[in-house]
């Protein structure tokens, strides 16, 4: 500040992550964007939260404090799926855990208020996005208020908040009061009374079937009853007025913009599982920026108001975001300290945002939206060249060209009108929508141009691949397999059983088999020995013990021995988390007597589901034997190839072949020494480094 001649900052962003000046970190993007708009931006990264003093390090901001937990929810960052404290933190220098408090956004907001009372607090980031309404909290095993209520902040921004934060900054700079900024999309705030010009729809009336009237037969003769009203001798003159489609749509849009849906209150959803699931269902139905309406929910005497989601950024706007002058390295204050999250994205390029997959365990759609937002090919190539020329340690290998998904670049609905009116949670489940364009030619062109750039030896693809989309374009699979796989390609079928997959909204294992055929065909054509590594989730809602047993049998049949696995992790606001908490299925209309979802909640059952994925580990054999006996499947216990686990148990302390030995972790048909399979699934949204404040 002294060097720049600043006597104060306009905006101070407080973040739970170490500061890395890269477009893969939300606070860097927002800081650079606000800077481009003429604002003086300061950043306080990972302050000591034990007192308010570190929050006063840059003085009082002229406009507001922007508070974010960082690129991950602070509770997921701090605890494992079994609620055990992590010792590491990929977003901290030295990979050291404990650099941020639990419920980071709440604590930071309190300290900012203590440091400078009266300065507005603006919440953002994925922690804010996924806690914007009353939500189930896995760590407390209870329903918590909106983060806005708990943090007592002034406004909450959800989703990718570039437009919202810039508009709020300009309005405050123009002299507006934060309490008067109520019309910005992608924001939530508290109010006392619903505006008088809004029509209020009760969500419980909105999402239930109405009375079905029997249709009369137009050819049926009905004799007129004596007491019926006599017909007039002269017919009534009627003027038929035709309303144009454009006028009708304009009236519908005007009505929608002045309609708010009332969700069940916090007190109700806290005590009623069916209404909690119902509220979650309505929230997800109102996420399309083209037709979403405002939502309101009573939170302890005040009303939480959620404006409709932000409109997706255009390609030109995306280019502007990513073309900011990022240094692409951590702050020099960290010196040589290793920051694993930075190392993971150091040589990777984010080409798009959003996901229309709708997987129920994932939070990408709730945060980034389902409409894909694309950068231009020129902008992406410019970033690759910048990495090549400026990032220390670059060896010529781009580690990833992707985002939330590897292959949704420039894929979209064929009709903008259909896209803006659709309320389906997925474009690819239960099958690929006929209105979805699945042409991968733009992505193929990008891959070819990128790998042919001077100084680029290899361009790898590490983001999650939608193989059900990839099989629609064999040309894409050939380009991917021939030039962009480094020996192993990780994909995520997640499960094999239809009951579980239906609760995940994932394609059947047949899609995996079709992709596997193409993968092996083009690997052979390219003269390369390459292998698919499938990811699986244990204990996902909708999964029975029998489902996990069948998955284990599939793994054994196909020669897979998972090295590291993890149980389903209930992240806030995800549809699968609602299933976990309520035992209801919000993918359908929710009633008290509606479908019950099987949920593995006890530590014993969750351990069993995890053990099935590691059927080859002798430490799990005793547990699996007991379970198979209880299931009446003793036919799977024995020493033959057809058995899942052996009948014997190694002596305590006896040396047995480690599950991590190189021979035990190879897929069937691979050769020794080719490396170890690491089948690991965190249960978190893929590519957490792409999630922005």
pLDDT of residue 564: 77
Mean local confidence (pLDDT), 666-670:
43
pLDDT of residue 585: 96
Mean local confidence (pLDDT), 642-665:
62
In degrees and rounded to multiples of 5, residue 380 shows phi and psi of -65, -45
Tokens for 428, please give them.
């690819």
**CA dist., res. 683 & res. 494, Å (int):** 10
**CA dist., res. 51 & res. 178, Å (int):** 26
Mean local confidence (pLDDT), 336-364:
96
Q: pLDDT tier at 691 (50, 70, 90 boundaries)?
A: very low
573-604 CB burial, b ≥16 within 10 A, e <16: bbbbbbbbbbbbbbbeebeeeeeebbbbeeee
Q: Are 47 and 14 in contact (CB under 8 A)?
A: yes
pLDDT of residue 244: 67
Q: Are 356 and 365 in contact (CB under 8 A)?
A: yes
Mean pLDDT score of the chain: 89
> Which tens digits make up the pLDDT trace of 148-192?
999 999 999 999 999 999 999 999 999 999 999 999 999 999 999
pLDDT of residue 640: 92
- Residue 478 pLDDT > 60: yes
CATH fold of 347-617+659-690 = pyruvate-formate lyase- activating enzyme (3.80.30)
pLDDT of residue 249: 66
Residue with the larger pLDDT of the pair 52 and 251 = 52
Lowest mean pLDDT, pick from 122-126, 334-338, 593-597 = 593-597
> Which tens digits make up the pLDDT trace of 403-458?
999 999 999 999 999 999 999 999 999 999 999 999 999 999 999 999 999 999 99
pLDDT of residue 387: 97
Tokens for 326, please give them.
């990022």
> Which tens digits make up the pLDDT trace of 182-232?
999 999 999 999 999 999 999 988 676 333 344 444 444 444 444 444 444
Q: Are 104 and 131 in contact (CB under 8 A)?
A: no
pLDDT of residue 206: 67
* Torsion angle in degrees (nearest 10) through CA of 541, 542, 545, 550: -120
Q: What is the DSSP string of 544-589?
A: -HHHHHHHHHHHHHTT---SS--B----TT-HHHHHHHHSB-TTS-
The strand pairing partners of 668, in sequence order, are none
Q: Are 97 and 88 in contact (CB under 8 A)?
A: yes
pLDDT of residue 240: 57
- Number of residues that make up the chain: 693
- For residue 472, which of 438, 498, 499 has the smallest C-alpha distance? 438
**CA dist., res. 492 & res. 385, Å (int):** 31
Q: Are 620 and 608 in contact (CB under 8 A)?
A: no
**CA dist., res. 263 & res. 205, Å (int):** 11
pLDDT of residue 651: 77
**CA dist., res. 398 & res. 396, Å (int):** 7
Going 319 to 324 to 325 to 331, the CA torsion angle's sign is negative
- Residue 7 pLDDT > 50: yes
Listed by start position, the domains of the chain span 1-186, 188-207+250-308, 347-617+659-690
DSSP summary character for residue 140 = T
Mean local confidence (pLDDT), 344-357:
97
Cα Rg, the chain, nearest whole Å: 27
Lowest mean pLDDT, pick from 215-229, 348-362, 365-379 = 215-229
CATH class of 1-186: alpha beta
The rounded percent of the chain whose pLDDT value lies above 70 is: 87
For the chain, helix (H) and strand (E) counts, in that order, are: 24, 20
SS3 assignment, position 330: strand
DSSP summary character for residue 623 = H
Work out the angle between the directed axes of helices 603-613 and 618-630 (0-180°, nearest 10): 110
Lowest mean pLDDT, pick from 4-18, 186-200, 669-683 = 669-683
Region class of 200: left (phi > 0), else alpha (psi between -120 and 50), else beta: beta
Going 632 to 634 to 635 to 637, the CA torsion angle's sign is positive
What's the whole-model pTM score?
Answer: 0.88
**DSSP H helical ranges for 140-210:** 147-151, 162-173, 203-206
**DSSP H helical ranges for 338-453:** 340-345, 364-368, 377-390, 416-421, 441-451
Q: Give residue 272's Cα distance to chain centre.
A: 26
DSSP summary character for residue 517 = H
pLDDT of residue 669: 42
Tokens for 143, please give them.
């329903």
- What's the Cα-to-Cα distance from 335 to each of 89, 92, 93, 338, 371, rounded to whole Å? 18, 13, 9, 9, 39
- Residue 598 pLDDT > 90: yes
DSSP summary character for residue 19 = P
Same fold, 1-186 and 347-617+659-690: no
- For residue 42, which of 52, 31, 53 has the smallest C-alpha distance? 31
- Residue 369 pLDDT > 90: yes
SS3 assignment, position 63: coil
- Residue 319 pLDDT > 90: yes
Q: pLDDT tier at 655 (50, 70, 90 boundaries)?
A: very low
Mean local confidence (pLDDT), 540-561:
97
Q: Are 637 and 625 in contact (CB under 8 A)?
A: yes
Q: Are 260 and 296 in contact (CB under 8 A)?
A: yes
pLDDT of residue 681: 34
**CA dist., res. 431 & res. 453, Å (int):** 37
The total of other beta-carbon atoms located within 10 Å of residue 410's CB is 19
The rounded percent of the chain whose pLDDT value lies above 90 is: 83
Mean local confidence (pLDDT), 596-624:
96
Residue with the larger pLDDT of the pair 233 and 281 = 281
Mean local confidence (pLDDT), 583-607:
93
Q: Are 692 and 66 in contact (CB under 8 A)?
A: no
The strand pairing partners of 199, in sequence order, are 259
CB-count exposure of residue 563 (10 Å: 0-12, 13-18, 19+): middle
- Residue 583 pLDDT > 50: yes
Tokens for 565, please give them.
């696995």
Q: What is the DSSP string of 206-236?
A: HTS----PPPP-TT---PPPTTSPPPPSSPP
Tokens for 336, please give them.
């040589």
């Amino acid at each position: 500040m002294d060097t720049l001649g600043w006597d104060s900052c306009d905006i101070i962003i407080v973040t739970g992550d170490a500061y890395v000046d890269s477009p893969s970190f939300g606070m860097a993007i927002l800081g650079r964007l606000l800077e481009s708009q003429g604002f003086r931006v300061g950043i306080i990264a990972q302050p000591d939260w034990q007192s308010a003093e570190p929050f006063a390090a840059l003085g009082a901001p002229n406009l507001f404090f922007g508070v974010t937990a960082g690129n991950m929810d602070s509770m997921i960052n701090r605890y494992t799926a079994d609620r055990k404290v992590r010792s590491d933190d990929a977003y901290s220098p030295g990979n050291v855990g404990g650099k941020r408090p639990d419920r980071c956004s709440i604590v930071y907001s309190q300290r900012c208020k203590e440091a400078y009372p009266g300065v507005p607090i603006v919440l953002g980031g994925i922690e804010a996005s996924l806690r914007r309404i009353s939500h189930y909290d896995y760590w407390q095993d209870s329903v918590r208020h909106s983060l806005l209520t708990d943090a007592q902040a002034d406004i909450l921004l959800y989703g990718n908040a570039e437009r919202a934060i810039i508009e709020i900054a300009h309005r405050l700079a123009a002299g507006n009061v934060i309490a008067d900024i109520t019309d910005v999309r992608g924001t939530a705030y508290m109010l006392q009374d619903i505006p008088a010009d809004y029509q209020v729809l009760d969500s419980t009336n909105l999402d239930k079937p109405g009375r079905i009237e029997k249709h009369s037969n137009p050819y049926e003769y009905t004799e007129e009853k004596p007491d019926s009203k006599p017909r007039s001798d002269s017919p009534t003159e009627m003027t038929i007025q035709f309303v144009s489609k454009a006028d009708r749509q304009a009236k519908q849009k005007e009505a929608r913009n002045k309609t708010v849906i009332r969700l069940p209150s916090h007190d109700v959803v806290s005590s009623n599982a069916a209404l909690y699931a119902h509220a979650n269902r309505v929230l997800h139905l109102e996420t399309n920026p083209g037709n979403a309406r405002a939502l309101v929910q009573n939170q302890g005497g005040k009303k939480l108001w959620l404006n409709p989601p932000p409109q997706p950024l255009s390609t030109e706007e995306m280019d502007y975001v990513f073309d900011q002058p990022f240094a692409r390295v951590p702050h020099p204050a960290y010196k040589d300290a290793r920051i694993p999250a930075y190392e993971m994205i150091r040589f990777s390029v984010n080409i798009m945002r959003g996901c229309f997959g709708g997987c129920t365990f994932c939070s990408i759609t709730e945060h980034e939206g389902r409409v894909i937002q694309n950068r231009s090919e020129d902008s992406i190539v410019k970033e690759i060249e910048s990495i090549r020329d400026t990032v220390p340690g670059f060896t010529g290998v781009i580690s990833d060209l992707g985002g939330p998904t590897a292959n949704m670049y420039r894929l979209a609905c064929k009709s903008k009108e259909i896209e803006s009116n659709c309320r389906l949670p997925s474009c690819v489940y239960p099958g690929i929508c006929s209105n979805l364009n699945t042409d991968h030619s733009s992505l193929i062109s990008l891959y070819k141009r990128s790998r042919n750039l001077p100084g680029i030896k290899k361009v790898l693809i590490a983001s999650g691949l939608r193989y059900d989309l990839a099989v629609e374009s064999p040309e894409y699979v050939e380009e991917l397999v021939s030039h962009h796989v480094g020996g192993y390609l990780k994909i995520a079928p997640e499960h094999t059983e239809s009951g579980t997959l239906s609760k995940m909204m994932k394609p059947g294992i047949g899609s995996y088999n079709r992709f596997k055929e193409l993968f092996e065909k083009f690997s052979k054509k390219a003269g390369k020995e390459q292998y698919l590594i499938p990811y699986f989730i244990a204990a996902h809602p909708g999964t029975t013990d029998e489902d996990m047993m069948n998955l284990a049998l599939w793994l054994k049949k196909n020669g897979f021995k998972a090295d590291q696995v993890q149980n389903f992790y209930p992240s806030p606001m995800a549809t699968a988390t609602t299933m976990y908490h309520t035992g209801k299925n919000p993918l359908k209309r929710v009633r008290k007597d509606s479908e019950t979802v099987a949920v593995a909640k006890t530590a014993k059952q969750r351990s069993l589901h995890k053990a099935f994925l590691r059927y080859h580990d002798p430490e799990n054999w005793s547990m699996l034997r007991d379970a198979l006996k209880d299931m009446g499947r003793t036919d799977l216990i024995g020493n033959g190839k057809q058995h899942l686990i052996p009948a014997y148990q190694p002596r305590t302390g006896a040396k047995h072949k480690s599950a991590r030995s190189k021979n035990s972790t190879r897929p069937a048909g691979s050769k020794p020494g080719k490396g170890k399979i690491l089948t690991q699934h965190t249960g978190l949204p893929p590519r957490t480094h792409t999630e922005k404040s």
